[in-house]
């Protein structure tokens, strides 16, 4: 996929397979290893990061005080693999189900299209991770991903593209590059965006943009309980004529910053709207 190959030249790493822990110092994987290929219960964990500890309430991104191991672009092919504690330049391609990425920093290199991307065979949970820099497509993309307590900041294009089955919760997207696109692009059905702060700043797009679902069906798009701001329209839905068969879009309980260029909402009359207000409690304009 886009020539992404493992270049995990790491200061310290550990691979656990079947209860056996192998660690190295200042090592590089052999060039013959083109992917991170782990047993279903295996881990690729930076030794310096230590045991996992749940972050403080309200935490987003890499927890403070975490020591990370440097690495390059990664492709994960083994189901259930856990990638923990990396400082990756480039991105991660997820080509297996049930993968976990946690406590990591992923920085765009201007070449690797996505920070985290799922292939048709992949699904991933991303948590306590920071994504920043130049991703030519988006920091996170495609279908079957869940992200909790992540931070996306300083990106040059889209923040996250949410295909079928994508989830974004308890996360912060803020301070994008001025020429960036949309903070969130909803491209599928059964998508949930809940309890986030999405404040990309003066970008050319929107905080949330709803476009044509890949496989329109009966599962709704739910955008609720977020703080949203910035962009041209903060929430923009492409016209129904451009979207094919409509998916129900529910936009409820959100609080809007009054800093959009043209307004907080520009959505279809069919969208379900309830209890959306400005931060100071004022109702949104009709």
82-to-25, 251, 283 alpha-carbon distances in Å: 20, 33, 44
* 11 — pLDDT class (breaks 50, 70, 90): very low
Q: Would you say residue 241 has pLDDT above 60?
A: no
Kindly list the structural domains of the chain, giving each domain's residue range(s) and its CATH number in brackets, ordered by start: 9-278 (2.160.20)
Q: Would you say residue 228 has pLDDT above 90?
A: yes
Residue-level length of the chain: 286
Average of pLDDT values for 258-269? 93
Average of pLDDT values for 163-175? 97
* 252 — pLDDT class (breaks 50, 70, 90): very high
Structure tokens given for 65: 């005080």
Q: Would you say residue 26 has pLDDT above 70?
A: no
pLDDT at position 49:
82
Average of pLDDT values for 167-183? 95
Listed ranges 46-55, 119-128, 204-213, 262-271; the one with the highest mean pLDDT: 119-128
Are the CB atoms for 200 and 176 separated by under 8 Å?
Answer: yes
Average of pLDDT values for 46-53? 82
pLDDT at position 124:
98
User: 25-39, 63-77, 111-125: which has the minimum mean pLDDT?
Assistant: 25-39
What does the DSSP 8-state code read for residue 206? B
Average of pLDDT values for 19-44? 33
pLDDT at position 212:
67
pLDDT at position 249:
92
Average of pLDDT values for 52-59? 87
Average of pLDDT values for 74-88? 94
Q: Would you say residue 195 has pLDDT above 70?
A: yes
More confidently predicted of 150 and 9: 150
Q: Is 269 helix (H, G, I), strand (E, B) or coil?
A: coil
Average of pLDDT values for 32-51? 56
The three-state DSSP-derived secondary structure of 141-188 is: ECCCEEEECCEEECCCCEEEEECCCCEEECCEEECCCCCCCCCEEECC
Cα–Cα dist 127/62, whole Å: 9
Site of tokens 């207000």: 277
* 245 — pLDDT class (breaks 50, 70, 90): low
Beta strand pairing call for 263-266 and 145-148: unpaired
Average of pLDDT values for 68-94? 94
How far from chain centre, in Å, is Cα 31?
29
pLDDT at position 208:
97
């Amino acid at each position: 996929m886009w020539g992404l190959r493992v270049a995990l030249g790491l200061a310290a790493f550990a691979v656990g397979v079947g209860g056996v822990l192998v660690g190295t110092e200042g090592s590089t994987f052999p060039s013959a290893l083109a992917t991170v290929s782990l047993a279903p219960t295996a881990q690729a964990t930076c030794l310096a990061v230590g045991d996992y500890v749940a972050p403080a309430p309200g935490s987003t991104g890499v927890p403070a005080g975490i020591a990370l191991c440097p690495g390059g672009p990664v492709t994960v092919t083994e189901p259930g693999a856990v990638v923990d504690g990396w400082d990756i330049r480039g991105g991660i391609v997820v080509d297996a189900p049930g993968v976990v990425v946690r406590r990591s920093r992923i920085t765009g290199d201007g070449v690797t299209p996505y920070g985290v991307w799922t292939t048709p065979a992949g699904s991933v949970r991303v948590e306590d991770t920071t994504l920043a820099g130049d991703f030519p497509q988006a920091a996170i993309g495609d279908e079957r991903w869940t992200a909790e307590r992540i931070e996306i900041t300083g990106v040059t294009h889209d923040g996250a593209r949410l295909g079928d089955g994508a989830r974004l919760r308890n996360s912060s997207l803020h301070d994008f590059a001025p020429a960036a696109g949309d903070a969130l692009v909803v491209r599928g059905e059964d998508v949930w965006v809940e309890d986030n702060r999405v404040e990309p700043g003066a970008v050319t797009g929107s905080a949330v943009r709803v476009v044509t679902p890949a496989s329109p069906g009966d599962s709704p798009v739910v955008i609720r309980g977020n703080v949203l701001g910035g962009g041209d329209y903060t929430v923009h839905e492409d016209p129904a004529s451009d979207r094919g068969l409509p998916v129900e879009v529910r936009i409820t309980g959100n609080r809007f910053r009054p800093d959009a260029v043209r307004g907080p909402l520009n959505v279809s009359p069919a969208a379900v709207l309830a209890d959306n207000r400005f931060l100071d409690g004022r109702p949104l304009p009709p």
